[in-house]
Amino acid sequence: MKSISLLSSLFLAVAGLALLGTTAVRAAEEIDAATKAKIAEFDKGPTKIDVSAYPAGLQKNYEVFRERCVLCHTLARPISSDFALPGEWSRYVKRMMHKPGAKISDANAKKIYQFLAYDSMVRKKALFDAKLAQATPEEQAETDAKIKEILAAYPQK
Ligand code: HEC
């Protein structure tokens, strides 16, 4: 009798842990109603960016972005997104590349990130500046370093 109850409590403990695990994963993956509504608005925005004045290498990266980021939703979604700082984009591109079926290599993820970070600085300058002004000194220094790195990799002719 004793060994059976030991076994069943062991079973319950394992089942409980498994349940806890899935709920934690769900909580991290799920998005709330307000975010869903915001995303639905993004989807109605423009579907292309005029990159004719961007450095040549970043114009190429734009093509990678156009190819890779339309597999699951419109391109309008990232184009109208309110992410602007390089840190926000690097986190988000990682999130997207880890979604099942994303087919985004590390090299392409980097190109897309560089494009989006540069594009936000130019095309969404007001939002970029506002977010930067609100960021912590550490985030500001990090943003500076990331932007310098991109500008050095893609010099404007
Ligand atoms: C495998 C499918 C898939 C691919 C590929 C994909 N996305 Fe997404 N994306 C999603 C889903 C699903 C959502 C809804 C939010 C969530 O579940 O994270 C989303 C939401 C978004 C949002 C809105 C987030 C917000 O909270 O405002 C942005 C921006 C975005 N994606 C950008 C990108 C970019 C940039 C790429 C290319 C690197 C990309 N996506 C590629 C599936 C994908």
Share above pLDDT 70 across residues of the chain, in percent, rounded to a whole number: 81
Q: How far is the CA of 77 from the centre of ligand 1 (A)?
A: 8
Which residue is listed with tokens 């997207």? Answer: 96
- Predicted model pTM: 0.85
Q: How far is CA 90 from CA 85, 94, 143, in A?
A: 9, 6, 11
Q: How far is the CA of 122 from the centre of ligand 1 (A)?
A: 22
pLDDT at residue 27 greater than cutoff 70: no
Which of the pair, 138 or 19, is modelled with greater confidence?
Answer: 138
Report yes or no: 69 and 97 within 8 Å, Cβ to Cβ.
no
Q: Whose CA is nearest to atom 39 of ligand 1?
A: 69
Among 41, 72, 104, 119, say which to mutate for ligand 1: greatest number of ligand atoms within 8 Å of CB. 72
Pocket of ligand 1 (CB under 6 A): 31, 35, 38-39, 68-69, 71-73, 77-78, 81, 83, 92-93, 96, 99, 101-102, 104, 112
Which of the pair, 148 or 2, is modelled with greater confidence?
Answer: 148
Residues 22 and 39 both lie in one domain: no
> How many domains in the chain?
2
Q: How far is CA 51 from CA 40, 42, 57, 59, 116, in A?
A: 25, 19, 11, 6, 11
Residues 19 and 55 both lie in one domain: no
Which range of residues forms the domain containing residue 21?
2-30
Residues 19 and 75 both lie in one domain: no
